[in-house]
Structure 1
Amino acid sequence: MAILVPFFQQLTGINVIMFYAPVLFRTIVITGVVNVVSIYLFILTVDKVGRRFLFLVGGIQMLVCQITVGTLIGVEFGTSGQGTMSKTISSFVVTFICIYVAGFAWSWRGLGWFVPSEIFPLEIRSIGQSINVSVKMFFAFLIAQTFLMMLCHLKFGLFYFFGGWVVIMTTFIFFFLPETKNVSIEDEVSLVLA
């Protein structure tokens, strides 16, 4: 979990949005509001609804948004990447990117740090968390270095590429992450290790 959760967290495509979307959102304040609201919702709900549920619902929300954005951009620009986007379509793209960022913020952003930190016994928690951080930083670097090349080759398919990873990571969580809602941290460690 200390390796795969941060690995999948980086392959959600959030870094692509966060690295390159500021140009798109320079005049839009809503993304900051969406992030603040999402973090607040995460804090309020993580123990009430459970980690696994938040992972799964966030994954579904991000997948729907990525497929929608990829399709809208594909319909507007095709494989040539030439043309202009209508105001209506660009409004939909911005809306779905904001919904995507919100889905990431209230699920995978916090849980990508939270779950790996709580699954280890106290004696080795710092080692487990250092593995978690190392994996995150390595894949953030790798995505930042390869994004432009991938964009040139995949064009709108880049959203489908990251959407495929969201399907894989959500399936992984569904089958392998036990629910830890209302479980003490000592019992949680043995539940995850079982």
Structure 2
Amino acid sequence: MLVGYARVSSNEQNLNLQLDALETAGCTKIFSDKLSGTQKNRPGLENALSHLRTGDTLVLWKLDRLGRSVKGLIELVETLQVDEINFYSITDGINTSTPAGRFFFHVMASLAQMERELLVERTKAGLAAAKERGRVGGRKRIMTPSKLEAAKKLLREGMPPKDVAQNLGVSVPTLYRWCPAASKEN
């Protein structure tokens, strides 16, 4: 069975071109969504996937109708392949029921995996270089050593913690975290 899926990004856009192409391709069931491809929850796609059985084919007008990221597309097609479900993109001419189509997806999966590994490698190298320069990851601390000394001094002089925090431009919980004695004085 050929199960079609069509998607446009907004309600103002028209699905007719995709629906006509899916009908011409011989789809017996067609599902659709009118929402952005970045949305994780796509009811039409979920319905289409739930109707697919071993030996069926998911048909799209174009690859980008399935999702925006190559990673997401490859993961979905790999899931389909595990369930022995084929994938066919009309405009792109990609059909995983053929050896050439399967080859294309193996190449894409390899490229995506290499990109993920390179990204991890670049991130680790960047963090190591930053660490060598004395930079520590994360946000800058709001309580600098001078603010901490000022807070302790103001608290010793009897200023209420709420006023000390406001004076230093920090929250009361931040003040309590850095000066635990302040919570006992309140």
- Provide TM-score, normalisation by structure 1: 0.26
Which is richer in strand? 2
Which is richer in helix? 1
Higher relative contact order (CA 8 A, sep 6+): 1
